[in-house]
C-alpha cells in the first residue's frame, strides 16, 4: 500500500515500511522494520508505533544536543494519552 501527501510517500510492506521524504532541498527515506520495541503493534500500524516510540524515547533522553537539533529544524514531539481508539 502507498500513501502520498505533500512530499511524503509512505510505502507499507510485509518486511517493513518506508517513509520517503522529498522537497526541492532535501531527499531521504526512513525505514521502519520489526524490532524489539515494535513487535506489539500490527504491521498496518507499525510505522506510527515506531515513530511515536522513537520520538518518545529520544525526547526522554533530555540531551541538549538533541533538543538543539530539533529546535534548529523546527521539530517538536509531545506524547499524548492513549485512548480506546488508539489501536484503530
Domain boundaries in the chain?
A: 2-73
Instruction: Pick the closest to residue 33 from 19, 16, 48, 47 (CA basis).
Output: 16
What is the rounded CA–CA span in Å between residue 54 and residue 4?
22
42 in Cβ contact with 48 (< 8 Å):
no
Does 88 have pLDDT greater than 70? no
Length of the chain: 88
What is the rounded CA–CA span in Å between residue 13 and residue 33?
9
State the Rg of the chain over Cα. Answer: 14
| 3-46 residue pLDDT tens | 677 999 999 988 899 999 999 999 999 999 999 998 888 888 99
What's the confidence (pLDDT) of residue 49? Answer: 95
**pTM score:** 0.80
Instruction: Pick the closest to residue 22 from 13, 32, 11 (CA basis).
Output: 11
Amino acid at each position: 500500500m502507498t500513501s502520498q501527501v505533500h512530499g511524503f510517500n509512505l510505502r507499507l510492506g510485509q518486511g517493513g515500511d518506508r517513509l520517503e521524504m522529498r522537497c526541492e532541498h532535501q531527499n531521504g527515506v526512513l525505514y521502519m522494520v520489526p524490532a524489539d520495541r515494535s513487535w506489539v503493534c500490527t504491521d498496518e500500524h507499525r510505522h506510527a508505533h515506531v515513530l511515536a516510540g522513537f520520538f518518545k524515547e529520544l525526547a526522554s533522553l533530555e540531551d541538549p544536543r538533541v533538543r538543539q537539533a530539533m529546535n534548529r529544524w523546527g521539530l517538536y514531539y509531545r506524547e499524548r494519552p492513549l485512548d480506546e481508539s488508539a489501536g484503530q
